[in-house]
């Protein structure tokens, strides 16, 4: 399926114990071959291999869009490994590389949701929705809105 974007939303099955935001992360198996190998390793649950190949992809001379995809994938991989600071840095790097990257924006929103930063997650989702959104972003937005409502009710 070379050249076709394969989006693997929820396929990572990111299982943060007791965490509801885990299935909102996404990796894309599109771009240069190292990005594809890294993404497929993540989908297979081999996060060490996924990180290794994705970082190698970042060292290659590729387009800014491919670099943004690699950084966004690294965000999801780092989150799965429990490295939330690394995940945030990777998402931020992806958005610095390509501010229009939907996957980076969605992954950062998922990370912020995961960390209970609902207002920041909502801000990322609002930007994402300005350009239109897919079903994965719709589910994440519903989860963020629900969490914000529950938080407001509990106060």
d(CA 70, CA 115) in angstroms, rounded, equals 22
The answer as to whether 33 is a domain residue is yes
CATH number assigned to the domain comprising residue 87: 1.25.40.10
Q: How many degrees, rounded to 5, is the angle at CA 131 between CA 130 and CA 136?
A: 95
Beta carbons of 26 and 9 less than 8 angstroms apart: yes
**pLDDT per residue over 76-100, tens digit each?**
999 999 999 999 999 999 999 999 8
Q: 126 versus 49: which is more confidently predicted? A: 49
The answer as to whether 94 is a domain residue is yes
**What's the domain range around 30?**
7-154
Give the residue from 10, 11, 3 showing the smallest Cα distance to 139: 10
Q: What is the pLDDT of residue 26?
A: 61
Q: Compute φ and ψ for 8, nearest 5 degrees.
A: -110, 65
Q: What is the pLDDT of residue 88?
A: 95
The answer as to whether 45 is a domain residue is yes
Is 60 exceeded by the pLDDT of residue 3?
no
Three-state secondary structure call for residue 147: helix
The number of folded domains in the chain is: 1
Q: What is the pLDDT of residue 86?
A: 96
The answer as to whether 141 is a domain residue is yes
The answer as to whether 51 is a domain residue is yes
The pTM score is 0.73
CA 60 to chain centre: 21
Q: What is the pLDDT of residue 23?
A: 59
The answer as to whether 86 is a domain residue is yes
Beta carbons of 87 and 104 less than 8 angstroms apart: no
User: What is the pLDDT confidence band of residue 21, given thresholds at 50, 70 and 90?
Assistant: very low
d(CA 93, CA 79) in angstroms, rounded, equals 15
**pLDDT per residue over 106-138, tens digit each?**
999 999 988 999 899 889 888 887 766 666 667
CA 149 to chain centre: 24
The answer as to whether 30 is a domain residue is yes
Contacts of 4 by beta carbon, 8 Å cutoff, 6+ apart: 30
The answer as to whether 1 is a domain residue is no
């Amino acid at each position: 399926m070379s050249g076709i974007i394969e989006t693997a939303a929820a396929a990572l099955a990111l299982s943060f114990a007791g965490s509801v935001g885990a299935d909102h992360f996404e990796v894309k198996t599109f771009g240069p071959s190292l990005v594809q190998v890294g993404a497929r390793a993540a989908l297979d649950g081999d996060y060490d291999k996924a990180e290794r190949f994705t970082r190698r992809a970042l060292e290659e001379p590729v387009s800014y869009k491919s670099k943004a995809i690699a950084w966004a994938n690294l965000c999801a991989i780092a989150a799965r490994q429990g490295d939330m600071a690394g995940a945030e840095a990777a998402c931020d790097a992806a958005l610095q590389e390509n501010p229009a990257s939907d996957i980076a924006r969605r992954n950062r929103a998922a990370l912020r949701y995961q960390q209970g930063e609902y207002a920041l997650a909502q801000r990322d989702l609002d930007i994402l929705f300005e350009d239109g959104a897919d079903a994965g972003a719709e589910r994440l937005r519903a989860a963020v809105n629900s969490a914000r409502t529950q938080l407001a009710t509990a106060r």
